[in-house]
Amino acid sequence: MSSPEWSRYLREDLGVPLSREEINREIVRRMEDRFRDALPLLPGAREAVRALAARWPLGLASSSNRELIDLFLSLSGFGDAFRVTVSSEEVARGKPAPDVYLEAASQLGLDAARCVAIEDSSNGIRAGAAAGMAVIAVPNPHYPPAQDALALAAVTAGGVAEVTPALVESAAG
């Protein structure tokens, strides 16, 4: 979900006694603190991003807020690896809708069907597939994707370290 969607959900469905704006601000603030304390980089992420960026223009299509995307890219040193970054709060609908992926492809000047999405969540996999992209699923072991979502992936990798240019080419067919 985009931040407007999850803020609304927390307020209206779960009854959090704050405004949607306050909920959003507080969650972003807490996430920024966590990123500064210990950036959650998966094993093999640096090598995978650098190898893919050396071959193709990369776009980041994220459900995170713009502030978190920018902070993550700055702290990780990945800022130069991604030509385009799009937050789901910048499009009409968040994942599982394809909007964030379609916007990233558009900003790269590419047809979405020529792109590969790399995703770890059910809604992310669904969004990439709905955009017409081949999807590489990299399941998060703490929150594994649903089987119906995994079935949409062209390839399932055991971890980020397995996401190589060869795997991307294989997924793209």
- pLDDT at residue 141 is higher than 90: no
Rounded CA gap, 137 and 125, in Å? 7
Determine what percent of the chain is predicted with pLDDT higher than 90: 77
Residues paired with residue 156 on neighbouring β-strands, in sequence order: 137
Q: What pLDDT, in 10s, does the model give residues 90-114?
A: 999 999 999 999 999 999 999 999 9
Q: Are residues 60 and 90 both part of a single domain?
A: yes
| One domain for residues 79 and 103 | yes
State if pTM tops 0.85: yes
- The whole domain housing 71 covers 45-172
133 lies in the same domain as 68: yes
pLDDT computed for residue 140 by the predictor = 87
Dihedral sign from CA coordinates of 46, 47, 53, 54 = positive
Query: 162 Cβ partners below 8 Å, 6+ apart?
Result: 44, 138
